[in-house]
């Protein structure tokens, strides 16, 4: 960017007394594992008394910062590389304030580790949507909950909007959700729109430019969470008018997507929203839930009660399994109604009697078939002073059992008692070496009640069906990202990294030992950072 654009000044006024918003259990630390710091009890109490805004839901102070980070504790000598996290960092432009957490303009956070030291940086992704908003002082593209440039008034306005949305010209390229290291070393950021595929420099955080697909696969939308390995990039392209998804593959080093297969959605008139999906060594699992894209909303250029979706429980829920090698559908079963943003992992399991067909196991973070999590992420709810009210939707680790023998119905069960992780589970990671294989451990955000958002971290043992939790009053941790120790043989041999937002003036990256889930270090930023979603790890070549 050529110039620095100041944001709303009231967002940067530091409180006279350090303040948090958090649990009414002052200074309480639930750990097995959870550390309570006596020195912080007074600040936590002051926070509850005065209700100061958390940095999690306020704009980042500037569009770019970098520098050394203070380390409290001990960084492992083997931890050499860069952690990148993507997420919204700016929700206010000029006189306009966005409504939903998904609307915010993307901000990358970088933490580089080298021989016990850490440096950090953050920077806005310079998408066309972001640059246009900075120049014009208001949004010019349609975001998740934002109709732009204005609510259509005439029939001609509606026609223009439909053409703009279907062609993708009015859709945002604000890549504020995911960041991935591709097999050839490039780093890509994504959100729901295909045009939001953006390449960034992981060292400088500069926006390099659009990722240009070298194919003619038209489609304005994509899954926000592709499956990325050293050899390939798998994703879904929803087809709003043919009720399905194209499953596409792109080889590492290539920009050309090739259609591997197609899933025909069985319920409703439009495909179900697929924020993420899962794979095994042989199969790709495509979920179909009753939260469906709203074609009516698109045609009318209006937001629905669920923003861009319709909740249609009568249309049913299904799980589709296609072969990774042939693209053929090998199973399509009806399952109990469900609502899930993120799938954790999947693997193949043979039946005890030696049946060759067996079943596919697919685990996800599930909301008891309740889509209210979408509305719970509205900014006015997150910024509410009622943070101590138990207003956040319940979630569980749910497991699908998908038969491959032609049985038309699959099963859905709760894996472990949700109370062990606070009746909340989301934004999960696993040891990547176990992707598509039978596994044991999940690292996720939890919800220690009462709360109005995820406020803890949890390590879930799927074998013992128990959890270890990290929680500190007044803190909002983001996705706990697992980094494996080079040469490690145990599934949980490594560290977990989470960027924690506290007050406007405080924020840090938390490092937990993945095995014990005990804190080993805090890497402090000079001020609090807004909440972010997903990250990736780029190992350093030494």
What are 18-34's pLDDT values in tens digits? 232 333 332 333 333 33
> Which pLDDT score is estimated for 161?
60
> Which pLDDT score is estimated for 50?
33
**Average pLDDT over the chain, rounded to an integer:** 86
Residue 322's pLDDT band, with cuts at 50, 70 and 90, is: very high
Q: Binding site, residues?
A: 225, 275, 342, 534
Residue 228's pLDDT band, with cuts at 50, 70 and 90, is: very high
Which one has a higher pLDDT value, 33 or 519?
519
Question: What kind and span of H or E run contains 468?
Answer: strand 466-471
Q: How many CB atoms lie within 10 A of CB 151?
A: 11
DSSP one-letter code for 57: G
Spatial distance between the Cα atoms of 219 and 267, rounded to a whole number of angstroms = 21
> Which pLDDT score is estimated for 17?
29
Summarised one tens digit per residue, pLDDT across range 152-192 is: 556 656 556 655 555 556 789 999 999 999 999 999 999 99
Q: How many CB atoms lie within 10 A of CB 337?
A: 15
Spatial distance between the Cα atoms of 271 and 242, rounded to a whole number of angstroms = 8
Summarised one tens digit per residue, pLDDT across range 91-112 is: 999 989 999 999 999 999 999 9
| Helix, strand, or coil (residue 238) | strand
Q: How many CB atoms lie within 10 A of CB 206?
A: 15
> Which pLDDT score is estimated for 530?
94
With a cut of 50, say whether residue 140 has pLDDT above it: yes
Angle CA 188–504–459, to nearest 5:
60
> Which pLDDT score is estimated for 168?
58
> The whole model's pTM is what?
0.87
Burial class (CB in 10 A: 0-12, 13-18, 19+), 451: buried
User: Can you list the domains of the chain with their CATH numbers?
Assistant: 52-539 (2.130.10)
Cα→Cα distances 352→214, 448, 462, 465, Å: 46, 38, 20, 22
- Segment 265-268 long-range contacts (CB within 8 Å, at least 24 positions apart): 265/318, 266/316, 266/318, 266/332, 266/334, 267/292, 267/312, 267/315, 267/316, 267/317, 267/318, 268/243, 268/292, 268/310, 268/312, 268/315
Q: How do strand 507-513 and strand 70-73 relate by DSSP bridges? A: unpaired
Spatial distance between the Cα atoms of 122 and 136, rounded to a whole number of angstroms = 23
With a cut of 70, say whether residue 434 has pLDDT above it: yes
> Which pLDDT score is estimated for 1?
36
Q: How do strand 425-429 and strand 411-414 relate by DSSP bridges? A: unpaired
Summarised one tens digit per residue, pLDDT across range 339-386 is: 999 999 999 997 655 555 799 999 999 999 999 999 999 999 999 866
Q: Which residue has the tokens 């680790």?
A: 397
With a cut of 80, say whether residue 6 has pLDDT above it: no
Summarised one tens digit per residue, pLDDT across range 465-489 is: 999 999 999 899 999 999 999 999 9
> Which pLDDT score is estimated for 295?
76
Closest of 26, 33, 41, 112 to residue 520, by C-alpha: 33
> Which pLDDT score is estimated for 330?
96
Region 130-137: mean pLDDT is 93
Spatial distance between the Cα atoms of 124 and 87, rounded to a whole number of angstroms = 10
424: CB partners within 8 A, 6+ apart: 392, 394, 395, 418, 445, 446, 447, 451, 454, 456
Closest of 395, 384, 531, 367 to residue 452, by C-alpha: 384
Q: Binding site for Fe cation, residues?
A: 225, 275, 342, 534
């Amino acid at each position: 960017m050529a110039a620095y654009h100041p944001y709303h000044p009231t967002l940067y006024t530091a409180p006279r007394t350090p303040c948090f918003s958090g649990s009414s259990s002052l200074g309480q630390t639930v750990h097995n594992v959870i550390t309570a710091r006596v020195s912080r009890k007074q600040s936590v109490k002051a926070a509850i008394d005065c209700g100061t805004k958390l940095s999690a839901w306020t704009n980042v102070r500037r569009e770019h910062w970098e520098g050394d980070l203070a380390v409290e504790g001990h960084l492992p000598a083997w931890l050499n590389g860069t952690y990148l996290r993507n997420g919204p960092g700016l929700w206010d432009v000029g006189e306009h304030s966005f409504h939903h957490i998904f609307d915010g303009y993307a901000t990358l956070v970088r933490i580089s580790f080298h021989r016990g030291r850490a440096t950090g940086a953050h920077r806005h992704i310079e998408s066309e949507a972001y640059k246009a908003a900075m120049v014009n002082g208001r949004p010019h593209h349609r975001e998740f909950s934002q109709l732009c440039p204005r609510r259509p008034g005439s029939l001609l306005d509606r026609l223009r909007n439909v053409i703009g949305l279907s062609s993708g010209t009015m859709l945002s390229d604000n890549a504020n959700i995911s960041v991935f290291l591709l097999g050839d070393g490039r780093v890509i950021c994504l959100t729901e729109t295909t045009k939001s595929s953006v390449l960034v420099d992981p060292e400088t955080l500069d926006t390099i430019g659009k990722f240009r697909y070298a194919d003619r696969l038209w489609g304005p939308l994509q899954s926000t969470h592709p499956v990325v390995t050293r050899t390939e990039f798998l994703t879904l392209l929803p087809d709003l008018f043919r009720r399905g998804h194209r499953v596409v593959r792109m080889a590492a080093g290539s920009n050309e997507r090739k259609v591997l297969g197609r899933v025909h959605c069985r319920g409703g008139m439009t495909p179900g929203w697929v924020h993420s999906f899962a794979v095994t060594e042989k199969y790709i699992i495509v979920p179909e839930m009753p939260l469906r894209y709203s074609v009516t909303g698109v045609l009318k250029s209006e937001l629905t009660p669920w923003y861009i979706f319709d909740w249609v429980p009568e249309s049913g829920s299904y799980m589709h399994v296609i072969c990774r090698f042939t693209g053929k559908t090998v199973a399509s079963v009806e399952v109990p109604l469900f609502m899930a943003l993120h799938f954790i992992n999947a693997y193949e399991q043979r039946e005890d009697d030696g049946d060759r067909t067996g079943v596919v196991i697919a685990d996800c973070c599930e909301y008891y078939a309740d889509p209210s999590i979408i509305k719970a992420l509205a900014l006015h709810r997150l910024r509410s002073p009622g943070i101590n009210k138990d207003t956040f939707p319940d979630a569980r680790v749910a497991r699908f059992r998908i038969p491959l023998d032609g049985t038309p119905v699959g099963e859905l069960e709760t894996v472990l008692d949700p109370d062990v992780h606070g009746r909340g589970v989301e934004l999960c990671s696993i040891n990547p070496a176990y992707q598509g294989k039978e596994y044991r451990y999940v690292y996720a955000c939890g919800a220690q009640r009462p709360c109005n958002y995820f406020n803890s971290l949890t390590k879930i043992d799927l074998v013992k069906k128990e959890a270890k939790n990290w929680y500190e009053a007044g803190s909002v941790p983001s996705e706990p990202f697992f980094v494996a120790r080079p040469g490690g043989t145990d599934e949980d041999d490594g560290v977990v990294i989470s960027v924690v937002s506290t007050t406007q003036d405080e924020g840090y990256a938390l490092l937990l030992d993945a095995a014990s889930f005990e804190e080993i270090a805090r890497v402090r930023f000079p001020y609090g950072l807004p909440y972010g979603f997903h990250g990736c790890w780029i190992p350093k070549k030494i």
